[in-house]
Homo-oligomer: A and B are copies of this chain.
Amino acid sequence: MVDRTTNRRVARKPATPSPTLQDVAQAAGVSTATVSRCLNSPELVVEQTRERVLAVVQELGYAPNFGARALAAKRTNTIGAIIPTMENAIFARGLQAFQEELARHGLTLLVASSSYSPKLEEEQIRTLLARGADALLLIGFERSARAYELLQQRGVPYVIAWAYSAGSDHHAIGFDNRAAMRALARQVFGLGHRDVAIIAAPMDSNDRARERVLGIWDAAAEVGLDRDALTLVQTPYSIENGARVMAEILAGPRQPTAVMCGNDVLAVGAMGAARAAGLSVPGDLSITGFDDIEIAGIVTPGLTTVHVPHRQMGIEAARVLATLLSGGAPPVPLLLETQIISRASLGPVSGT
């Protein structure tokens, strides 16, 4: 394939196309049906034949053609997942665990990302279904009615993760974003903070972001603070955005004593900006995050945040789908526990 003289690749189409079931069958001296069985229901074929066939399969490096298989069997053993973004670590760990558990059930993962856009998400759902995904993992409840209709109409099982709602009709596996953030906010207010700013992700079309802000407002109300008393800025998740917004807040008229961020990525950025502005954390300013991703424990000071059981969520989600696909009893929505991780970034309001 390579012309060694000029050391340049020779563009040429395959001399050897992929071997097919036919090829294997012929080489093994059996019918295609038998080869197919060897691969899909080995127990139906007698040991001797099976061994011979599998040897040929090995030798030829045969791999079933996915399209053909999907077409004939009407299932692909493929699970599609649509996550808002692959850029930061938020979903990475959960997805990894999801994948590992799927593999344990003989299922393959197909990932797509929606960039937090409902329109794009719907498109991705369509794409994944056309690609033959047998089931889907979706993040959060919020999406167009059309998207839900599409799923129901096609009868595709799906599970919603990263969010939980008690009375929901959907299979869900997640945690209570609002309650978790409320608990954290109580701590913040309990330490005497009253000038609190919120850096959240864009709340339209992101129920998790919204729920978390609601949690803060809940706690604010408990100490008699009006929600309008809290500065609220929305910006897409990224370290840079967190830093930029924090700089803007610090340049603004009201200096908060604490900044609660919608997630760790924003918080880490905010912390960087605060430090760059010469503020000490938590001396001059307390900062909190959400998620407890790896960097939360690495930054200085350590970030006080809410631990989310990402891996467990991924594993449970995979199990739910596996159960659904094998016709098992539809499990009940599962609520996982979160936990406040107290590190140094949150301290009492500085005495003035």
Contact = CB atoms under 8 A, between A and B. Distances in A.
A167 B4 CA distance: 11
Contact of A65 (B64, B71, B89, B275): B71
Given A63-B127, A294-B240, A14 B153 contact: yes
Nearest to A268: B298
A294 B89 contact: no
Interface string A149-172: 010111100000000000101110
A71 B63 contact: no
Chain A: number of interface residues, binned into ranges: 35 or more
Interface string A169-200: 11100000000000000000000000000000
Interface in A1-56: 1-2, 7-9, 11-18
Nearest to A146: B61
A127 B108 contact: yes
Nearest to A151: B1
A167 B2 CA distance: 13
Given A7-B167, A11-B330, A92 B96 contact: no
Contact of A110 (B12, B110, B132, B239): B110
A304 to B, nearest CB: 16
A169 B61 CA distance: 24
A54 to B, nearest CB: 15
Contact of A152 (B1, B171, B275): B1
Given A7-B167, A153-B16, A169-B9, A275 B300 contact: yes
Nearest to A239: B294
A154 B8 contact: no
Nearest to A240: B294
Interface string A69-111: 1110000100000000011110011011000000000001011
A280 to B, nearest CB: 12
Given A66-B132, A127-B63, A154 B89 contact: no
Interface of A: 1-2, 7-9, 11-18, 61, 63-71, 76, 86-89, 92-93, 95-96, 108, 110-111, 126-127, 129-132, 150, 152-155, 167, 169-171, 238-240, 268-269, 271-272, 275, 294-295, 297-300, 324, 327, 330
Given A66-B67, A87-B92, 12 more contacts: A7-B169, A14-B154, A15-B153, A17-B154, A18-B130, A61-B150, A65-B130, A65-B132, A67-B132, A88-B89, A111-B111, A275-B300
18 contacts: A1-B152, A8-B169, A9-B171, A9-B330, A16-B153, A64-B130, A65-B132, A66-B132, A67-B132, A71-B71, A88-B89, A89-B89, A110-B110, A111-B111, A238-B294, A240-B294, A299-B299, A299-B300
For the complex of A and B, 6 pairs with smallest distance between CB atoms:
A14-B155, A67-B70, A67-B67, A63-B130, A67-B71, A66-B131
